[in-house]
Structure 1
Amino acid sequence: MAERDPIELHARHDHQEVLPPELPGSARKPKRRKVIAGLVAAKLAIGGAAWLLIDRSHVSTDNAYVNADSALVTPLVSGAVTAVPVVNTQTVHKGDILLRLDDSDARLALAKAEAEYLTARRQFAQTKSTSGSLAAQVEARGADIGQAQAQMAAAAAGFDKARVDFQRRSELAQSGAVSGEELTATRNAYRTAQANLTMARAAMAQASASRGAARQSWAANEALVAGTTIDASPDVAAARAKLDQARLDLARTVIRAPVDGVVTNRQVQIGQRIAAGSAVMTVVPVNRVYVDANFKEGQLARVRPGQPVELTSDLYGEDVVYHGRVAGFAGGTGSAFALIPAQNATGNWIKVVQRLPVRVVLDARELAQHPLRVGLSMAAKIDVSGYGRD
């Protein structure tokens, strides 16, 4: 084998990469641990900075909507519609006419009730006058009793005289001192006096009974009018109540706005016959709307009534900020009052974060400057900085 040139060997040796000696396994581990510790420290530093930058003094949601206690217009009497002077979107004030019904039947009922009221008053006056007449009849029956007593006394005296005469004539007739004709005459006179006494006693009883009946009639009549006036009489009061009801029914043929607001959902036309209690339209009080903000249950730990709220509407954008206050919380979540509430007793249970409606009242002046409508979307942010954790 030929020997290599020494110069060539030296050149190749100069071009070879000089590598450091390999470290043993025990020397690599401290270096890896330092790298991992540095990464963990950097992550903690980033998390701490993010935690410091998060706004913990507010809770917010964009699941909020404008609402209002709308007035549902329902006529209290039935009838045919003769006029509807309002349309949807029209602004009305409390007392403005919304609807007119045919009032022909109501006017007839009012006239009949007025006649019955006048009749009741006249009957009371007549009953009160009759009481005086019955009292006079009681006194007249008392006079009849006096006359009957006098007649009975006279009949009794005549009877006693006729009885004595008859007894005397009967004794003398046995000795022949009195004729048979005279004895017969005294006997007839005695029987006549006896009959007159019986008639007088019957007349006395009849006069007493008449006076008793007159007293009963007077007492019954007095029970109707004693201690009362014409206006306090039960019959008159009932007639007056019926008259007031007729007047109220006539007034109810004109339906007026119960509150200030905007007419919406009008469901009635001229000529349509509507029943009492049927909904015909709705008046939304846009100057008294509020916001129902649906917050997650985990956001409500520090929310309390009275805390300030800032709200923005999609209608005006973020340039218009409303200021309000937390008025209160709903009695339950939206799912709790659903038509078919969720039932989690089947075993296939998945936790779903619930939302609780929070009522927020708005500033009336801001609401007047930028009116809202029911159903509009809102974003709400509650300042909870005034509530500290325990």
Structure 2
Amino acid sequence: MSDSQENTAAAAAPQKQRVPGRRKRNLTLVTLLFIAIALGFALMYFLVWQNEEETEDAYVAGHLVQITPQIAGTVRKVAVDDTDIVKKGDVLVSLDDSDFQLAYERAQNDLIQAIRQNKQQTAVSSQARAQVLARKADLATAQADLRRRESLAGTDAISGEELSHARAAVVQAQAALRAVEAEETSAQAALGNNIPLRQQPAVQSAVSRIKDAWLNLQRTQIRAPIAGQVAKRNIQVGQRTAPGTPMMAVVPLQNLWVDANFKEVQLRKMRIGQPVEMTADLYGGKVVYHGRVMGLSAGTGSAFSLLPAQNATGNWIKVVQRVPVRVSLDAAQLQQHPLRVGLSMTVTVDTHDGSGQTMTAAAEKNAAIPEADAVDWTAADELIDQIFEKYAK
């Protein structure tokens, strides 16, 4: 062997020794990397993931306020259409008010007539009272005349016939007094025994008719009971409507929640009040909504099915059901990033805190339920006051 060959062999020997060492070191690093990743996943599972339940089967839900007329009528105007945003109190539909306007005017005339009749009955009562006083004076005169004549009885100053006439005059005066007293009683009964004018039954009935006619007139203007977006409009101009006929719906966009459909095996650790994070497909992961678990639905989609599930061979199969869990939405976040009913959501529930009520317990009312305003009678009361002020003097 030459010197060059010996040198080449001597140089290759250390290189062969270095290659297995580098490979072993690389395998060790890779193994340590996989162990670190596994430990990371294990820590994430035990610290986070085992205390989270997630579903993509979730949708935005909200109240659907049906708009229906309270009176029958013909549609004169429709002021809104689907997707329009309306404020509380906006006029949605106008009905023809001609008949109701006439009824309102008739009711006003009925009140005026009732006031006048009461004034006439008051005058009759006053007249009857005056007649009673006059008849009492006549009776007193007849009785005094009878006593004077009775004191002269048995003398030549008075005859028996005059005494008889005096006694008859007293009887006649007493009968006349009883007659006018009966008339006074009848007149007072017609007035309700001095009941004030506004509390008279006939007057109160007339006032009620005015309020009824005024209310029907107001109901020809069908207004939005809450603010929201118009949906499902199915009313047209000229259409004849009856009370309770669906015209459209208003969806309050600031009073929404999410119905998240979780598998039944995911409900074990869920409690009412647990924090929830949600993302909408509309905005992606950039916008994260926060809320809390509100409650559990009364049943699943097949809760009221009479028969269990079957496969093609007729064997019974077990199906994992999904149960809707209601989750609240933060109002401030809704204001900043509006949502619409029916949008898809991804929901993640943090189940760390298990101190709340179980999902089968009754949930508290966390969200305000829309409520329409009560009838404001101010305008009708002002009109009634004006009629009394003008005609009751």
The TM-score with structure 1 as length reference comes to 0.70
> What does residue 171 of structure 2 align with?
205
Q: Does residue 56 of the first structure (1) align with residue 62 of the second (2)?
A: no
Distance 1:62 1:160 in 2: 124
**d(CA) in 2 for partners of 1:201, 1:298:** 109
**Change in 2 beyond 3 A, CA 1:207/1:352:** farther
- CA displacement 1:134-181 (0-9 Å, x = unmatched): 22111111122234435656776898568x99xxxxxxxxxxxxxxxx
Q: State the partner residue of 1:141.
A: 135
- In the alignment, is the contact (CA less than 8 A) between 2:271 and 2:355 conserved in 1? no
* Aligned amino acid, residue 342 of structure 1: L
Residue 36 (structure 1) aligns with: none
Residue in 2 that maps onto 1:285: 252
> Structure 1: which amino acid aligns with 2:66?
L
Matched residue type, 1:362? L
Q: Does 1:103 align with 2:97?
A: yes
CA contact (8 A) 1:85 1:98 kept: yes
State the AA in 2 paired with 1:286. L
Q: CA deviation at 1:282?
A: 0.4
Secondary structure of 2:198 counterpart: coil
Residue among 69, 78, 93 paired with 1:75: 69
Deviation per residue, 1:71-106 (Å, 9 max, x gap): 111111111111111111111111111010111011
Where do residues 354-373 of structure 1 align in structure 2 (5 Å cutoff)? Answer: 354-373=321-340
- Name the CA distance, whole Å, in 2 between partners of 1:96 and 1:307: 38
C-alpha change, 1:161 and 1:95, in structure 2 (3 Å) is: same
Aligned-residue offset at 1:360 = 1.0
Residue equivalent to 1:317: 284
When structure 1 is superposed on structure 2, of 247-256 and 147-156 the one drifting more is 147-156
1:248 to 215, 225, 230: 215
- Aligned-residue offset at 1:127: 2.7
Distance 2:300 2:172 in 1: 88
Q: Deviations over 1:197-218 (max 9, x none)?
A: 5555444333212212322332
8 Å CA contact 2:52–2:349 kept in 1: the answer is yes
Residues 112-145 of structure 1: per-residue CA shift (max 9 Å, x gap):
1101111222222333333322221111111222
- Give the TM-score of the pair, scaled to structure 2: 0.70
**1:321-341 superposed Cα distances (whole Å, 9 cap, x missing partner):** 2222212223344434x5xx4
Aligned to 2:266: 299
AA aligned opposite 2:188: E
Structure 2 CA distance for partners of 1:294 and 1:197, relative to 1, 3 Å:
farther
Structure 1 segment 218-233 matched on structure 2, within 5 A: 218-223=184-189, 224-226=191-193, 228-233=195-200
Residue identity opposite 2:257 in structure 1: Y
Give the Cα–Cα distance (whole angstroms) in 1 for the partners of residues 355 and 50 of structure 2.
11
Q: Quote the Cα distance in structure 2 between the aligned partners of 1:207 and 1:348.
A: 108
Evaluate the alpha carbon distance shift between residue 201 and residue 352 of structure 1 in structure 2; reply closer, same or farther with a 3 A threshold: farther
Q: Please report the RMSD computed on the Cα atoms of aligned residues, expressed in angstroms.
A: 3.4
Q: Matched residues, percent identical?
A: 44
Question: Which structure would you say has the larger Rg?
Answer: 1
SS at match of 2:272: coil
- The verdict on how the C-alpha distance between 1:387 and 1:150 changes in structure 2, with shifts beyond 3 A counting, is closer
Task: Provide the secondary structure at the position in 1 that maps to 2:306.
Answer: coil
Residue 88 of structure 2 aligns to a residue whose secondary structure is: coil
Q: Which residue identity lines up with residue 213 of structure 2 in the other structure?
A: A
8 A contact 2:73–2:95 mirrored in 1: yes
- Counterpart-to-counterpart distance in 1, 2:77 and 2:165: 82
Distance in 2 between residues matched to 1:89 and 1:253, nearest whole Å:
23
Gapped regions of structure 2 (runs ≥ 5): 1-37, 357-393
1:292-338 superposed Cα distances (whole Å, 9 cap, x missing partner): 112222212221222211112233333332222212223344434x5
8 Å CA contact 1:127, 1:225 repeated in 2: no
Q: Match for 1:231: what amino acid?
A: R
> Would the alpha carbon gap of residues 254 and 388 (structure 1) be closer, same or farther in structure 2, given more than 3 Å must change?
closer
- Superposed displacement of residue 67, structure 1: 1.0
Residues of 2 paired with 1:343 and 1:225: CA distance? 70
SS at match of 1:294: strand
SS in 1 for 2:254: helix
**C-alpha distance in 2 between matches for 1:63 and 1:202:** 105
CA distance in 1, matches of 2:154, 2:85: 105
Which residue of 283, 297, 306 maps to 1:342?
Answer: 306
Which residue does the alignment assign to 1:328? Answer: 295
Cα 1:358–1:239 change in 2 (3 A) is same
